[in-house]
């Protein structure tokens, strides 16, 4: 049994759905861990250390960030705060006249059993002109490359940043 420490149940639902396919058991531990400032990998490393201290068993944490080229990478590591404050409507407003709508969603999965390892998944894409679909977080405004609609409108597990990072984790975990 591995524990998934997060304050975000939506993330856990997806993580569980993905890991179920590989017969890896995961349980939700709802906890809010301190998020330091820094690069996404540094944030994840700090969180997994704290999570392991509490759980003292196999544990996973995940950190995500949405980087928008036109906004020089904003919201990036501030994605969570920006979502809570200006939200998708605020991002769309900032992007109103943007010609370059390129963006990428990055997931860093950190695993620890005392020994820590990080796995990264990156999905290139675009910021939609308008919100599409009903889902959580930035799903209604992020269109992955090769698609015409947002994460909210597709089977995102097949291609999501989270899936990519977890696939790397599974490959390592099972070997």
Catalytic residue numbers, as ranges: 63
DSSP string, 101-145: -EEEEEEEEEEESSSEEEEEEEEEEEE-SS--S--STTGGGEEET
Maximum alpha-carbon separation in the chain:
49
CB of 160 to ligand IMP, least distance (A): 6
- 55-94 binders of ligand IMP (CB under 6 A): 63-64, 66, 79-80, 83
Instruction: Work out whether 8 is an interface residue with ligand IMP (CB under 6 A).
Output: yes
Instruction: Work out whether 163 is an interface residue with ligand IMP (CB under 6 A).
Output: no
Instruction: Work out whether 151 is an interface residue with ligand IMP (CB under 6 A).
Output: yes
155, 89, 7, 78 alpha-carbon torsion, rounded to 10°: 110
CB of 175 to ligand IMP, least distance (A): 26
Instruction: Work out whether 111 is an interface residue with ligand IMP (CB under 6 A).
Output: no
User: Which of 51-59, 85-93, 117-125, 135-143 is the region at the interface with ligand IMP (rule: CB under 6 A)?
Assistant: 135-143
Q: Tell me how far the alpha carbon of residue 144 is from its chain's centroid.
A: 14
Rounded to whole angstroms, how far apart are CA atoms 148 and 156?
Answer: 13
CB distance 60 to 3 below 8 Å: yes
CA distances from 7 to 64, 93, 157 (A): 13, 28, 20
CB of 64 to ligand IMP, least distance (A): 3
Q: How many residues bind ligand IMP (CB under 6 A)?
A: 14
CB of 85 to ligand IMP, least distance (A): 10
Instruction: Work out whether 116 is an interface residue with ligand IMP (CB under 6 A).
Output: no
The residue count for the chain: 175
Where does this chain bind ligand IMP (CB under 6 A)? Answer: 8, 63-64, 66, 79-80, 83, 136-139, 151, 160, 162
């Amino acid at each position: 049994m591995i524990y998934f420490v997060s304050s975000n149940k939506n993330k856990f639902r997806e993580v569980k759905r993905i890991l179920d396919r590989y017969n890896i058991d995961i349980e939700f531990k709802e906890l809010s861990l301190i998020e330091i400032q820094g690069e996404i990998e540094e944030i994840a490393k700090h969180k997994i250390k704290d999570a392991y201290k509490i759980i003292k068993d196999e544990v996973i944490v995940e950190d995500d960030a949405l980087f928008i080229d036109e906004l020089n990478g904003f919201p990036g590591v501030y994605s969570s705060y920006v979502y809570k404050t200006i939200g998708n409507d605020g991002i769309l407003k900032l992007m109103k006249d943007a010609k370059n709508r390129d963006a990428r969603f990055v997931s860093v999965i950190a695993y620890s059993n005392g020994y820590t390892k990080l796995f990264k998944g990156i999905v290139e894409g675009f910021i939609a002109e308008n919100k599409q679909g009903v889902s959580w977080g930035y799903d209604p405004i992020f269109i992955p490359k090769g698609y015409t609609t947002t994460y909210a409108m597709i089977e995102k597990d097949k291609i999501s940043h989270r899936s990519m990072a977890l696939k790397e984790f599974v490959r390592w975990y099972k070997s």
